[in-house]
Amino acid sequence: MDDELYRDFVLSPVITGKSDEQLNWRRLLWEEFYPRIRHESSPEEAANIVLKHLRERVVISRAENVPHGVPKFELSI
């Protein structure tokens, strides 16, 4: 991957580009996933660990009256 692509799409925390966008989401991801993948040397193995963790935490529910949004968590530093 070239440097510009990496900088613009991997390093940049910008998703929507709106002025009120929250840019601290990367810290939450790092805290959640880094301890699980820090000893992996293969990107494929790290991706499998992330996928497994997401499968354990994310479910599709057919129940009625369930929230359809994603809860927001405040980062306390």
pLDDT of residue 35: 93
- The mean pLDDT value for 22-46 works out to 89
Structure tokens at 53: 């963790």
Structure tokens at 13: 């925390």
What is the spatial distance between Cα 48 and Cα 43, in angstroms, rounded to a whole number? Answer: 9
pLDDT of residue 24: 79
What predicted TM-score, i.e. pTM, was given to this entire model?
Answer: 0.55
pLDDT of residue 42: 93
75: pLDDT strictly greater than 70 = no
Contacts of 46 (CB under 8 A, 6+ apart): 37, 40
pLDDT digits (tens, 9 = 90+) for 35-74: 999 999 999 999 999 999 999 988 777 888 877 777 676 6
pLDDT greater at residue 14 or residue 41:
41
